[in-house]
Chains A and B, each alone.
Chain A
Amino acid sequence: MLYRESGLFKTSYAADQVIFPIPQDRWGILAILAIAFVGVPLIMDDYWANAVFIPFLIYSLAALGLNILTGYCGQLSLGTGGFLAVGGYSSYKLMTSFPELDMLLVLGGAGATTALVGLLFGLPCLRIKGFYLVVATLAAQFFIIWLFYKVPWFYNYNATGQISVVPREALGFLVTTQRADPVVRYLFVLSIVVVFALAAKNMVRGRFGRMWMAIRDMDIAAELIGIRPYMMKLTAFAVSSFYIGVAGALIFAVWLGAAESGETYGIDESFLVLFMIIVGGLGSVLGSFLGAAFIVLMPIGLKNLLVDGFGMTAVLAKHIEITAFGVLIIFFLIVEPHGLARLWQIIKEKLRLWPYPH
């Protein structure tokens, strides 16, 4: 009754091809964007920015990137942490080597560098498939972390081995370091994520996305209908790495302000982002956001509940948190292997029939 397609007549090709054909969807998205751009900044302070909103947005971007590779193109990757590191370290090198560069260009450069590295480690993907490909991506993960740790050029020969951010502006607004206004940092990250999400949504419903999905469903069959598997897998690697590289640069420059290869971008990050797309939904743009929200918010919620609510010690709470994390992951996989995005889809289908289901 409230949410339906009936009575919706498309009279032009343009109307047939819009991203959100149902008006309620369009209004919903606009409302969410309005809240995100206008409403949220009103309550923004350092805590909300650093603990909730900025990590959520950045991880959404990383999840979006991994979803393109794993969810849409079907190439399982555990190298996300390494690619995030490439993004972070290349943004640092760009920021320190070219102080005049606008932050947007730095992000673009970091993304492009990561895309190249992603291509390089994606090269074996034609011969190696499935779980065996995990080894190639894990090789990327461990090798990249080791490289940034061992070669001093990457961290400008400083004594700590860490990289720390320098003040840089985007379009005239200071966005990095602790001196930057949290509202500005939040809006900066939000704008980037919105642009990238829109691009992803369009990519996956267009020519590229369809070819990726054909490869995912069965690469030999896709090859037979004239899709070049190697090219499409490599483009998926490149595009996905671009997204992840930008996310890695944002983690370093806007969110944390400092990074150390093994600490910030370790193998745990790879699993975390993979969890996000599994919990959110493989092959779904919305799922990337839902999964990121779930994985970022759940530990905070659990910690508040256990430590403040039940008065547990931090150590015990940490153990319970880890256990609960594992149990919830398994629970989700058993109840809905297609993730939160699938639940949303079911709700929408029910809404279409409401209040007169068959």
Chain B
Amino acid sequence: MLFVLETVISGALAGIMYSLVALGFVLIFKASGVFNFSQGVMALFAALTLVGLLSGTIPFTNTDNPALALPVWAAIPLTIFVMFIVAVLIEKFILRHLVNQEHIILFMAMVGLTYVFEGVGDMMWGSDVKVLDLGLPQGAWDWLFDTHDLYVEKIEMVAAATAAVLVTVLAVFFQKTRIGRALRAVADDHQAALSVGISLRNIWIIVWSAAGIVALAAGVMWGAKSGVQFSLSLIALKALPVLILGGFTSIPGAIVGGLIIGIGEKLVEVFSGELIAAAFAGLIEIDPGVFSATENWFAYVLALFFLMFRPQGLFGEKIIERV
């Protein structure tokens, strides 16, 4: 029973990590209707930039100069500034020219952007695996391990706390501030928002910067856990079912979706092989080992199952179709 609990907790925490990425998707989709496939690579790019600044790497040369290494308190704001510049560039060179295009065109442009991020990130900061050391706590949480015999990684607790803070800040930002109100107006109706004097371009820059900051948070968490490397960008593919399960437009949806998928995936990974082998024990011989590495597809199949009942995701706005 303890083992089940442990699996559930670790699944929930992993799910929060997925939610961090999914959050970036939701932000951009809400404000511009763009399905930003490059969110995963943005996380990688932000983490690479942070590592590069911390270790004083000179961009495009792949050499370190320790004299240029920045302390953490300077490197993080500078990375955020870089993500802001990236947001401005994306608005200027891509989004501005693709207003009013079909969804699939915008989506493919974002996939193209993914390649650009990947290539530029590698060229700027080198393509080897990097260690991100921000002094975040590592290893198991001793207190819980001693008193309840539960193994929970500290870094995942930090990620969960970060996600909670981010969601709260974003919720307040969206609901209470002037810019947040403008963002919601743009999300509702581009033209109506324009007609009351909201600048679409500024809004896009703000949203992409916010998504950049979320990407940085996700990149830092994943990077601290498993090193900053190319595979980091693949979490976009993990965040996609989370996003769809929760509904494209819902911030709580991203969190709940992450939890459902994180927990489900861990439970299936750990227990399905034995259960299925036991169920068919008398009939055919099934090797429980066959049901390993289910993590790759389980999230999608689960999302698909939910979609059969709610085609707009759990918290998505109801899709109304007219001729």
Binding site for B on A (CB under 8 A): 70, 76, 124, 127-132, 134-136, 138-139, 142-143, 145-146, 149-151, 218, 220-221, 224, 267, 271, 274-275, 278, 282, 315-316, 319-330, 333-334, 337
Question: Is there contact, CB below 8 Å, between B296 and A142?
Answer: yes
| B145-174 vs A, Cβ < 8 Å mask (1 yes, 0 no) | 000000000000000000000000000000
A129 to B248, CA, bound (A): 13
Question: Cβ of B35 < 8 Å from any Cβ of A?
Answer: yes
Rounded to whole Å, the gap between the CB of A136 and the closest CB of chain B is: 5
Q: Can you pick out 14 interface pairs between chain A and chain B where the beta carbons lie within 8 Å of each other?
A: A124-B308, A131-B248, A132-B312, A134-B240, A135-B300, A135-B304, A138-B241, A143-B297, A146-B297, A150-B292, A151-B290, A218-B323, A221-B323, A334-B98
Question: Cβ of B115 < 8 Å from any Cβ of A?
Answer: yes
Interface size class of B (residues with CB under 8 A): 35 or more
Question: Cβ of B144 < 8 Å from any Cβ of A?
Answer: no
Question: Is there contact, CB below 8 Å, between A329 and B248?
Answer: no
A274 to B308, CA, bound (A): 25
Contact A278 B323, CB 8 Å, known A135-B307, A334-B98: no
Question: Is there contact, CB below 8 Å, between B104 and A319?
Answer: no
Contact A139 B301, CB 8 Å, known A278-B105, A329-B109: yes
The chain A residue sitting closest to B114, CB to CB, is A326
Contact A326 B98, CB 8 Å, known A127-B308, A333-B108: no
A110 to B111, CA, bound (A): 30
Partner of B94, one of A127, A131, A334: A334
A129 to B94, CA, bound (A): 26
Chain A residues with CB below 8 A from B240, complex form: 134-135, 138
| B230-243 vs A, Cβ < 8 Å mask (1 yes, 0 no) | 00000001001100
Contact A124 B307, CB 8 Å, known A278-B108, A337-B101: yes
Question: Is there contact, CB below 8 Å, between A136 and B112?
Answer: no
Question: Cβ of B227 < 8 Å from any Cβ of A?
Answer: no
Binding site for A on B (CB under 8 A): 35, 93-94, 97-98, 101-105, 107-109, 111-120, 122-123, 127, 237, 240-241, 244, 248, 290, 292-294, 296-297, 300-301, 303-304, 307-308, 311-313, 319, 321-323
Which of B109, B113, B290 has the most A CB atoms < 10 Å from its CB?
A: B109
A280 to B35, CA, bound (A): 22
The chain A residue sitting closest to B309, CB to CB, is A127
A136 to B308, CA, bound (A): 10
Q: Which 4 A-B pairs give the minimum distances between C-beta atoms?
A: A326-B115, A323-B119, A329-B112, A142-B297
Chain B residues with CB below 8 A from A138, complex form: 237, 240-241, 300
Rounded to whole Å, the gap between the CB of A72 and the closest CB of chain B is: 13
Contact A316 B123, CB 8 Å, known A142-B297, A143-B300, A322-B118: yes
Partner of A135, one of B105, B113, B123, B241: B241
Partner of A330, one of B102, B116, B319: B116
Chain B residues with CB below 8 A from A337, complex form: 98, 101-102, 105
A319 to B62, CA, bound (A): 13
The chain B residue sitting closest to A147, CB to CB, is B297
Question: Is there contact, CB below 8 Å, between B123 and A327?
Answer: no
The chain A residue sitting closest to B247, CB to CB, is A132
